[in-house]
Amino acid sequence: MQALNRIFKKKSQYALKLERILGFYPKNINVYKQAFTHKSTLSDNDRKIAESNERLEFLGDTVLSTVVSHFLFIKFPFKDEGFLTELRSRFVSREMLNSLGRKIGLNELIEKKSDEHAASIYGNTLEALIGAIYIDKGYKVTQNFIYQKLIHNHIDTQEVMINETNFKSRVIEWCQKGKHTFRFEVKENQEKNIHLYTVELFLDDKLEGVGIANSKKKAEQLASEQFYNEHLKEII
């Protein structure tokens, strides 16, 4: 009788929204709610670390990189490490992840209080969602979600190969051509178990971009992407 009750138990609206995005019915609803909870909705610092999506974002970033690496390794059996590394960076770039997050409908479930992180919130939340899937369903289901829902449905590999998405390289090249000075200033911030880098991009001694991430390289790309989108996108 209990088994029949479980089978015919009405699904929650929240779980149904998740099912449309994921392609499967979630088991651990709470971990997905955490994946969509931005730290701006939490008042206390300890809760921000324990209950926001930042830790899941860290996990999802690693899992995503592994799955994409394996996908490219199989798809391009005769390409060298440099080619695979560069193409992977394009697949997991902030621009790509933000675009994917919007396309699969993450805006329906994200909880936040301000638009302060609007530029990167979709990509960050997508990484957190991948971390949540990994905890809830394991590696194989997560791999299938990335393959089917993200790569096969929304990424044209040939187009990604053609389009350069290394924002740092683009900004540096623009600076060199125009004889502009540039520098990246890095600050490290340790909050309990979370290690974050804040990178500030200065062009001709003027602050033009800020990036915050769990690696210096990623933070530099975010700072460069901010400047690129605000000033260079239409002219390069």
Give the active site residues.
Answer: 61, 127
**CB 197, CB 215: distance < 8 Å:** yes
Cα gap 188→70, rounded to integer Å: 31
| 175: CB partners within 8 A, 6+ apart | 181, 182, 203
Cα gap 183→70, rounded to integer Å: 34
Q: Rounded to the nearest 10 degrees, what angle do helices 94-103 and 216-227 cross at? A: 70
Question: Token pair for residue 34?
Answer: 């955490």
**CB 15, CB 25: distance < 8 Å:** yes
**CB 56, CB 131: distance < 8 Å:** yes
What residues does 194 pair with on adjacent strands? 191
Cα gap 56→131, rounded to integer Å: 5
